[in-house]
Amino acid sequence: MNIRNRYAKVCLFLWILGMCLTAHSLKAQSVIPVPLKMEKGTGFFLLSEKTRLYTNLQGGEAKLWENYLKTLPVQLKKGKKKDTQQVLSLLITSKNPQLPSPESYTLSVTPQQILIRATSGAGLFYGMQTLLQLAQPSGAGSYSIASVEIEDTPRFAYRGLMLDVSRHFSTKEFIKKQIDALAYYKINRLHLHLTDAAGWRLEIKKYPLLTEFAAWRTAPTWKQWWNGGRKYLRFDASGAHGGYYTQDDIREILQYARQHYITVIPEIEMPSHSEEVLAAYPQLSCSGEPYKNSDFCIGNEETFTFLENVLTEVMALFPSEYIHIGGDEAGKSAWKTCPKCQKRMKDEHLANVDELQSYLIHRIEKFLNAHGRHLLGWDEILQGGIAPNATVMSWRGEEGGIAAVTSGHRAIMTPGAYCYLDSYQDAPYSQPEAIGGYLPLKKVYAYNPVPASLTAEQAKLVYGVQGNLWVEYIPTPEHVEYMIYPRILALAETAWSAPERKSWQDFHTRALSAVADLQAKGYHPFDLKKEIGSRPESLQSVSHLALGKKVIYNSPYSSHYPAQGNTALTDGIRGDWTYGDGSWQGFISDNRLEVTIDMEKETSIRSVTAAFMQVVGAEVFLPETVVISISDDGVHFTELRKQHFKVSKETPIRFADISWQGEAKGRYVRYQAQAGSEFGGWIFTDEIIVK
């Protein structure tokens, strides 16, 4: 009995040891995104110039692969179907439970051969990306690949990155370079924001002024231009800055994207973000004058002629299912007084300007649908009634996406809090200037694109997820890459991998390796090894005399930034590096911050402190005036401190504690913080600490 027990224990130990070693080996595999199933074998396959390649790909897809295979680090010999040794086989096969999607694949590596199976060229391509990530240099131009069995399939069909090329133009060479990296991590959509106030970036032959004039501005950076008059110049004028893609450039980009199984989606902004168009063709605005409006005149029939002509050329270039039409942030104010817009509203029985925008979206959708395309727009296209076949890209949180799917429409989730890659990715003082926000790698990785409130059927309408990079504060190619990588890798794993396969600690290890790989390939990612992390004050709660005490709001906080509501300023929780983290409370009313804390009884007080932030890009500023007062009755207050501060835009981001220290007694503590007259903007604080 003792012997049997000992034997059983030894077997159990060996089994556990084996499992641990296997798990360790699998974790060591630096595959992003992590596959659905991955089982390590024994031995290695040596990929070298002696390796033969066999594939049953045919037709146009075979041609795509012919060009792609030339880019591999090893040039392979042509193989035959009967080859079983030193062969890499890429096989199209029939659909089966292991291959539920055209992008699914299986990968088998043994010491004798590598076999990738899929139902389409896309699936084979993604299997190849996994293989390349597994390959380790083995000297003399060869690569060692550990034996493994992989079964893999994507969670979402749409896995995207939006790149703003209007605010700062990106060359076609740069776009192609990003396609290489995005495809490597199984991103399959590249959304190009081609038009905006800062510059029109696409050749439209019917409207030459769009590239002769609207593509060129008076300053090299968006910030200089935005703060310096916002004017445009002819391309041949002195001091003109900008650029655009010729239609041949676009064809070249699209062909390269096809070779990497990436669909490029064009965005043509309407009805707003169109200052550059209306400067070139002012007759399309409500005023009829340049530099007066940012929204197209929807009452003007010529507007629709223009938009349909532009979209006709766009569709002739881009074969994508979707054409993105923007639809966000329309000012709509000019429509309220424009005779043409008012007549349109009367003729079409439209109740308000939201419905007027919806009229444009519906009409443009009919035009796109008639040409076999679908409309994609930001979540504002829900205002006034969503077009019948439209897909919503939800950026102002998840509410727009939820509204879309509950009404039977597809949604692509891209909420700013998790998917806006223009936010700071580390402690702001250590980073180049950004528009604001704090979005570290860990937070991107934590995002689940399927809200818990959705039913199983509604969840099926969540088409995918997308990261967005707006480049107002990102003027150089190196800076663009710095903001994209490695955060897009976290989003790639969220978009591809099953939730149960995700592990932050494991991903972080793989991301460190990926950053080193990207650097070796000539990219400029954020150096994850040097990450500082969260604001120290946010990592632990603070204890003080006002903890849990009632806060009386003499001026309201903004409904957009409520934090934890009426308890936010005395809950002991300090904010992180961003005003949108749920701990910072925002004030934009005339009086800004004016609150009174009821200490419940007379209390001896030695200090009162509140923290403030400044994020210039987001119009968040430190206060100009702070008044700290105390009272016995809550009516008559005695000033403890009144101080004026110089508010300046010279420091893009800053955090400051503004305090009173001394000795006082009272039941009520009042804290007032006023905005400056020069810049105005928001005031944010996270806690009023009384000691």
Distance CA 466, CA 689 (A): 39
State the DSSP code for 312: H
Strand, helix or coil for residue 408: coil
Q: Is 326 exposed, middle or buried (0-12, 13-18, 19+ CB in 10 A)?
A: buried
Please name which of 548, 543, 582 lies closest in space to residue 567, comparing C-alpha atoms. 548
Q: Is 394 exposed, middle or buried (0-12, 13-18, 19+ CB in 10 A)?
A: buried
**pLDDT computed for residue 30 by the predictor:** 84
Distance CA 308, CA 144 (A): 54
Distances in whole angstroms, Cα of residue 281 to Cα of each of 178, 285, 343 = 33, 8, 22
**pLDDT computed for residue 67 by the predictor:** 86
Strand, helix or coil for residue 340: helix
Which residues, including other chains, have CB under 8 Å from residue 67's CB and lie 6 or more apart? 259
Q: What per-residue string of b and e applies to 289-310 under the rule 16 or more CB within 10 Å gives b?
A: eeeebbbbbbbbeebbebbeeb
Chain segment 271-321, per-residue pLDDT in tens: 999 999 999 999 999 999 999 999 999 999 999 999 999 999 999 999 999
Per-position DSSP letters for 2-15, written without gaps between them: HHHHHHHHHHHHHH
Active site residues: 196, 273, 329
Amino acid of residue 355: E
What is the distance in angstroms between the CA of the first residue and the CA of the last residue of the chain?
A: 68
Distance CA 307, CA 361 (A): 11
Q: Which two tokens stand for residue 220?
A: 């090299």
**pLDDT computed for residue 29 by the predictor:** 67
Q: Which two tokens stand for residue 105?
A: 């694949």
Main-chain dihedrals φ then ψ at residue 507, nearest 5 degrees: -60, -40
Name the stretches of the chain with pLDDT < 70: 1-29
| SS3 per-residue string spanning 160-200 | EEEEECCCCCCCHHHHHHHHHHHHHCCCCEEEEECCCCCCC
Q: Is 403 exposed, middle or buried (0-12, 13-18, 19+ CB in 10 A)?
A: middle
Kindly report each contact of residues 454-458 with a partner whose C-beta sits within 8 Å and lies 24 or more positions away, as own/partner.
Answer: 454/402, 454/405, 454/406, 458/405, 458/406
